[in-house]
Amino acid sequence: MTDESRTRIGTPTPEELREQVEHTRDELGQTIEALAAKADVKAQAKERTAAVKEQAAEKTALVADQIRAQTQHAAQLVKDTTPDPVLHKAGQVAEAARAHRKPLLAAGVALLVLLLVRRGRRSR
């Protein structure tokens, strides 16, 4: 019987055996890597934390967009329903406040200090 006749009846050649051994080694290596990954709790926790963080960021961005849209809608409603003379006066007040920012801040701080002093005296 020759080597050729043995391969025809199902006995693998040495080259085929080497390929099977190499293939089995590759599969075994992949299996070991997968088991090691499952056993690495710290790495799994990091992956889960990163996934949760990404989900939270996406939800935060979505909510921020919704709030921004609702705020713009509310501002437009107020602008549409407010009479023109009132809008004009509000614009003048805003300009005056921007022009006199330091005195307004000083007055606000003084008012806050006054309120805190009164509250402190009441609690005694």
H or E, element range at 56: helix 41-81
Q: What is the pLDDT of residues 15-41, one digit of tens each?
A: 999 999 999 999 999 999 888 888 888
Q: What percent of the chain has pLDDT over 90?
A: 60
Q: What is the pLDDT of residues 36-76, one digit of tens each?
A: 888 888 888 999 999 999 999 999 999 999 999 999 999 99
State the chain's mean pLDDT as an integer.
89
In terms of pTM, does the model score above 0.85?
no
CA distance 16 to 22: 10
Arithmetic mean of pLDDT, 107-113: 94
CA distance 3 to 19: 18
Answer whether 12's CB lies under 8 Å from 18's CB.
Answer: no
CA distance 37 to 18: 29
